[in-house]
Structure 1
Amino acid sequence: MSNQKLAERVERQFKNNLPAQVTTILGRERDVDAVHKLLLREEVRLLTLSGPGGVGKTRLSLRIAAGLVEDFDTICFVPLAAIHDPSLLPNTIAQALDIKESPDQTLLQRLKEILRPHQLLLILDNFEQIAAAASLLSELLAACPALKLVVTGRSALHLYGEHEYRVQPLALPDLANLPEVAQLGEIPAVSLFVERAQAARSDFALTETNAAAVAEICVRLDGLPLALELAAARVKLLPPQALLNRLVGGYGYNSLQLLTGGPLNNPSRQQTLTNLLDWSYNLLNPAEQKLFRQMAVFVGGCTLPAVETVCRSEGEAKVAVLMRAESLIDKNLVKQVELRDAEPRLLLLETVREYALSYLTEAEAEGLADSTWLRHCRYFTELAETAEPELTSAKQAEWLVLLEQDHHNFRAAMKWALENDQAELMLRLSGAVWRFWYTRGYYTEGRNWLETALSRFSQVGGELRAKVLIGAGVLAHAQSDNRRAKAAFEESLELFRAASLKGRIAIALNNLGAIAVTEGEFERAFDLHSQSLELRRELGDKYGIASSLSNLGAAAISLNDYRRALPYLEESLEIRRELGDTWGVALSLNNLGAATVSLKDYPKAFTYHQQSLAIRRGLGDKWGMAVSLANMAQVAFFLGNQDEAYDLGRESLVLRQELDDKLGIAVALEIFARLATFQKEAELAARLLGAAASLRDKFNLPLEPYDTEDYEQLLATIKTGLSRRAFELAWEEGRGLSQAQAIGLTREVKRPQTVLPDAPAPETPATTEEKPAATLPVEIPAPASPRKAAKQAFGGLTDRERNVALLVAQGKSNRLIAQELFVSERTVEKHVENILSKLQFISRAQIAAWSVEKGLARNLSSEPV
């Protein structure tokens, strides 16, 4: 090479050609920092930013490049979206760098020669459609030691030395725990939506009125930036709630129809979400396209075994499906979610799933849709039936988590079964999954599915129908609909007797006994539970024996025979511990707490209820949690801990309201009436008691006998603080309130700021004619602080550490725990380290097992089934 040419090469200067950004990039601070650090590492020379279409890879690469201009001689942006021939890659790079061809060299050779001495960063944008040109990048890197490449695309290049950084959608709000509006607006997905909405409509603002709808739109669109921008542009015409209604299918729309109309200066593929997804879909081979379409039947994700079962053709090896699934993950059309100590879950973003579903529907002519949905329904029916016995075993906590993960799939399977007259599958599935609904508090939804199945397929009888009747009755009983529950249990008893199924007959008798307790027919309840116990002992059904013993103990307490109740309850607890039935252990502890309250042993009762609550929290048993919280509130009041009673009662009421538990709401109103009485707010207390009495009368929910004396004393105390006329007016006003108004009334009860030392003993009625003052102290020692006692009982773990242990037991990663608790992932890591150290464990699996054992994973509970 001549000296002149060498000098020309060395002196050659390239100009940065980074396009100016018209809008800001939001919520990517951590990504920018992470990639910036990667690119400054000497060994990182090829970095691929991979992710689904519309996630913002191009904008992220440009933002990162803008922060690196001082670290490279030149940064050059090379757009490849318009290139489909891999052989044109050298030409495109040369054009971006303004390098001309030479007659005595290939363009690739000339690029190597000219770029070799330069500290250059090339950004190759949208590489996926020329993936076959990846080997050329290896040649360039080998020839140019100072060159670094950033590649954006749907998938990694799979080259030696490549570093992949997966770009995720923007962080989302937790719909179950929305923060204040100002904080909500700082969450990246919400922040982007609001900014782009304001670009479309200058007066748009995030407010208390539209905050929930905006948050749900962001979640519905999975935090995908392009989808958020396209949706935000619609607020010019549609307010957030109207937009949300259409995104979820209202008014004949679907989300893909709405997510159109992007800016004209965007590439055509980014002007509609459908165009963008077409771009990705057309890069798949036919086998991958088929699997992509089939995976649309999975709602909320699924496990790999589910994909292998549902999407595998007859005679095809499972490994073939696995390889296609890997390819879809690699191309960022399917997202893989890692769960510790469990099968990973595969997930289509919701907008992507809707797109795939439209293609599956188009495949109707070849029968692919029907066959895939049928296999999906069969798979999840069999999964529910496998889980059914485990929900009363030592593995119930683990199975509850697994069923929760696939709850959307159960819903989708039942919907398809109903729409396609699949009577057997619908009855089998709903009849197997109802205990999950019961334990997790899905009362209303579960009842709707079960009642629909019973009415739609009324021609089907026998055990199949009877099992669904049991579930419908249990959930109806949980919502105080005793009329429907009793009818369901009586019909199931007839069907079981006709089939001579002794075990099932025992279940129906047990459940009718639970109804009798609720309706105040305690002698009848005792007789029904005795019949059930006799059958269960004959069959050697330990789970059933424990249930009947617990219910006999409850019935004995209702008959004021507390000493007789204790042996039943203690035997029940012993059997349940032997079986590892943590749900049952919690219920037996609850009933032992009720018995000890009746015996006035309040410290011991509080401990029983505290242990029961811990287990129920671990299982996610909302009804059980509400019961235990209410019981603890009442005992805390008797112990003089008024502030604690208020907090426990409030948490219980929130759960009762969520479950629409009429009896539980009545009990909560009575708790707040007691607190109001203690605060000398007699009129407020009378209104609350009147509202509770109205609920009890309307739904035939009489007081338990052991509650009657205490209730009468409370009523007498309230009456001494009011004239007869004032009491009657307040009482009737309370009776006239709606349920929502009555719950709102509890807000008028002030929260005590400190523990008051002189709570009245519940068994001592006021005798003065004046408005009573609380001057009669409880003559028993108060227990140690529940918070300290809990810390000692749980290996020295703090409240936050116990919360983290519970979430670990639910299979959540540190990232998901951090999101749920609104803390950093590093903070969660520190909590996990502390838990392992304090408990002397070495794995998260040990934490999970310990949480279930300790129980982290209605005054008297008469349990169905």
Structure 2
Amino acid sequence: MDMGFRHGSYGEDVPPLLDLVERAEPELRGADQLRWATLLGEESNNLRAALEWATNNDLRTALLLVAGLSTFWWMHGLRAEAARAARGVLDALGPTIPHGLGEEYLLAVLHAAGSAQPAEVERAQNATGRLFDRPVTVLLWSFVLGPFQPARLVTDVLAANERGGDAWGRAAVQLCRGYPSLAEGDPAGSERALQNALARFRLIGDRWGSALALDALADLAANSGRTELAVDLLGQALAIAGELGTDERAALVLCRRGDLRLGLGDPAAARADYTRALELGLKAGLPETSAAARIGLARAARYAGDLSSAREYALAALPDCDTDWAGADLAKAEALAELAKAEGVSATTSGGPRRISGGWLESG
């Protein structure tokens, strides 16, 4: 569905695009999400142009577009695109929040969290209550700001949105309650909440929420030594990524599963996961994913005794780590460590695989 947006000329095509976004947003959280995600995907170029035009000409509409695309962006792992768009709108707005759009402003701040100023975060929080109108807000708020908020505030926000939210919002609250970074050191309670979230997301037909719950359950299983269960859960999440057509997310899941398979002593299976992850990372132009896959391939080769291949993979990972992305320095240190081991500085297979929730390889 090409709406023929005339970039750089007139803004009369922006309202129909905003209408499409607003109609699609609730559908992206239900059983018909694949069809609506496809419709938005077909309009990606037009939507980017509309956002650019609105940022320069109609900030209210720009903020509504950013908020309305939140679910689509996060579902498809398009956080960098979301951050760029949100940052542009926030810079254009300055300290002004358009009347009645406090929650939309908050979503923009959440997207731009890596570059958000403390004053912007404070303004966003002051402009909203604890009950959000958009169900996706509770999820993004919990993931981005929740770990840095007082536990009591997180509890209150989740409780308010559980009482006042729709079915998807209530499932999201359970997901947030169980998320390892928010679960206050209660693995059993976290697992119950995540299983509850998974059941709720499956009931309403939402694949994205189901994948998030499976990812978090895999983390819990891996951290408690149930590695085979974690591998199985990631396999289920990988199947969902295939349904959603999210290559970037699939590549991350493959790297995490490869790490676990190394821990199970199966470098051949791990190598297959890393190889596919590298293909997807290169296709999507994601240096962080390519680096993760190459480092994994280096480690798998070393575990198999092939130090020459391990050296080649570690060297190939270094250019990926010299680009500008969060965690690049940590990834470079890991690549150099693998290179040193492959070159015999410490040629040993000790020091097991990375944790699947490692700091530089995003799992969200």
Which residue of structure 2 lines up, in the alignment, with residue 431 of structure 1?
A: 67
* 8 A Cα contact 1:470 1:508, kept in partner: yes
* Pairwise CA distance, 1:493: 1.9
Match of 1:409 among 29, 38, 46: 46
* 8 A Cα contact 1:490 1:508, kept in partner: no
Which residue of structure 2 lines up, in the alignment, with residue 440 of structure 1?
A: 76
Letter in 1 for 2:271: Y
What per-residue deviation string (whole Å, max 9, x for no partner) do you get for residues 45-66 of structure 1?
Answer: xxxxxxxxxxxxxxxxxxxxxx
* 8 A Cα contact 2:194 2:217, kept in partner: yes
Letter in 2 for 1:433: L
* Pairwise CA distance, 1:553: 2.1
List aligned pairs for 1:146-185, cutoff 5 A: none
* Pairwise CA distance, 1:572: 0.7
Match of 2:229 among 586, 601, 604: 604
* Pairwise CA distance, 1:771: 5.6
Match of 2:175 among 531, 550, 556: 550
* Pairwise CA distance, 1:612: 0.7
Instruction: Give the whole-Å Cα distance in 2 for the aligned partners of 1:417 and 1:586.
Output: 33
Which residue of structure 2 lines up, in the alignment, with residue 502 of structure 1?
A: 131
Match of 1:671 among 296, 313, 327: 296
SS in 2 for 1:503: coil
What per-residue deviation string (whole Å, max 9, x for no partner) do you get for residues 59-86 of structure 1?
Answer: xxxxxxxxxxxxxxxxxxxxxxxxxxxx
Instruction: Give the whole-Å Cα distance in 2 for the aligned partners of 1:435 and 1:676.
Output: 38
Which residue of structure 1 lines up, in the alignment, with residue 125 of structure 2?
A: 493
Change (3 A) 1:384 1:511: closer
Task: Select between 384-393 and 672-681 the one with higher mean Cα deviation.
Answer: 672-681
List aligned pairs for 1:512-551, cutoff 5 A: 512-515=141-144, 527=152, 529-551=154-176
* Pairwise CA distance, 1:640: 2.9
Change (3 A) 1:381 1:656: same
Instruction: Give the whole-Å Cα distance in 2 for the aligned partners of 1:395 and 1:630.
Output: 29
Letter in 1 for 2:204: L
* 8 A Cα contact 1:377 1:413, kept in partner: yes
Instruction: Give the whole-Å Cα distance in 2 for the aligned partners of 1:550 and 1:453.
Output: 29
Change (3 A) 1:444 1:595: closer
Change (3 A) 1:589 1:489: farther
Letter in 2 for 1:570: Q
Instruction: Give the whole-Å Cα distance in 1 for the aligned partners of 2:136 and 2:36.
Output: 22
List aligned pairs for 1:379-778, cutoff 5 A: 379-419=16-56, 421-458=57-94, 459-464=96-101, 466-471=103-108, 473-474=110-111, 476=112, 481=114, 484=116, 489-497=121-129, 502-503=131-132, 511-515=140-144, 527=152, 529-555=154-180, 561-653=186-278, 655=280, 658=284, 660=286, 668=293, 671-672=296-297, 674-675=299-300, 677-679=302-304, 681=307, 699=326, 735=333, 772=348
Instruction: Give the whole-Å Cα distance in 2 for the aligned partners of 1:507 and 1:532.
Output: 13
Instruction: Give the whole-Å Cα distance in 1 for the aligned partners of 2:137 and 2:123.
Output: 9
Instruction: Give the whole-Å Cα distance in 1 for the aligned partners of 2:161 and 2:280.
Output: 33
Change (3 A) 1:669 1:462: farther
* Pairwise CA distance, 1:634: 1.6
* 8 A Cα contact 1:549 1:568, kept in partner: yes
Letter in 2 for 1:404: G
* Pairwise CA distance, 1:596: 1.8
TM-score with structure 2 length normalisation?
0.74
* 8 A Cα contact 2:201 2:207, kept in partner: yes
Letter in 2 for 1:452: G
Is 2:354 the partner of 1:859? no
* 8 A Cα contact 2:218 2:233, kept in partner: yes
What per-residue deviation string (whole Å, max 9, x for no partner) do you get for residues 674-693 of structure 1?
Answer: 425424549959x78x98xx
SS in 2 for 1:859: coil
Task: Select between 408-417 and 652-661 the one with higher mean Cα deviation.
Answer: 652-661
- Between Structure 1 and Structure 2, the one with more strand by share is 1
What per-residue deviation string (whole Å, max 9, x for no partner) do you get for residues 417-450 of structure 1?
Answer: 345x223322222331233233334333333222
* Pairwise CA distance, 1:609: 0.8
Taking only the aligned residue pairs, the percentage that are identical comes to 21
* 8 A Cα contact 2:215 2:234, kept in partner: yes
List aligned pairs for 1:316-395, cutoff 5 A: 373-395=10-32
* Pairwise CA distance, 1:556: 6.4
* 8 A Cα contact 1:506 1:533, kept in partner: no
- Between Structure 1 and Structure 2, the one with more helix by share is 2
* 8 A Cα contact 2:179 2:216, kept in partner: yes
* 8 A Cα contact 1:493 1:505, kept in partner: no
SS in 2 for 1:461: coil
Instruction: Give the whole-Å Cα distance in 1 for the aligned partners of 2:287 and 2:158.
Output: 28
Change (3 A) 1:535 1:418: closer
* Pairwise CA distance, 1:594: 1.9
SS in 1 for 2:13: helix
What per-residue deviation string (whole Å, max 9, x for no partner) do you get for residues 807-827 of structure 1?
Answer: xxxxxxxxxxxxxxxxxxxxx
What per-residue deviation string (whole Å, max 9, x for no partner) do you get for residues 548-581 of structure 1?
Answer: 3223322269866433321011111111112211
Instruction: Give the whole-Å Cα distance in 2 for the aligned partners of 1:597 and 1:471.
Output: 33
Instruction: Give the whole-Å Cα distance in 2 for the aligned partners of 1:437 and 1:671.
Output: 27
Instruction: Give the whole-Å Cα distance in 2 for the aligned partners of 1:862 and 1:462.
Output: 35
- Give me the CA root mean square deviation: 4.5
Instruction: Give the whole-Å Cα distance in 2 for the aligned partners of 1:495 and 1:593.
Output: 36
Instruction: Give the whole-Å Cα distance in 2 for the aligned partners of 1:582 and 1:651.
Output: 22
Change (3 A) 1:650 1:428: same
Change (3 A) 1:654 1:562: farther
Instruction: Give the whole-Å Cα distance in 2 for the aligned partners of 1:772 and 1:675.
Output: 12
Instruction: Give the whole-Å Cα distance in 2 for the aligned partners of 1:422 and 1:544.
Output: 30
* 8 A Cα contact 2:162 2:173, kept in partner: no
Instruction: Give the whole-Å Cα distance in 1 for the aligned partners of 2:218 and 2:40.
Output: 30
Letter in 1 for 2:277: S
* Pairwise CA distance, 1:539: 0.9
* 8 A Cα contact 1:553 1:569, kept in partner: yes
Change (3 A) 1:604 1:445: closer
Change (3 A) 1:669 1:494: farther
Letter in 2 for 1:492: A
TM-score with structure 1 length normalisation?
0.34
Instruction: Give the whole-Å Cα distance in 1 for the aligned partners of 2:102 and 2:233.
Output: 38
Structure 1 residue ranges without an equivalent (≥5): 1-300, 311-356, 362-368, 704-730, 750-769, 777-857
Structure 2 residue ranges without an equivalent (≥5): none
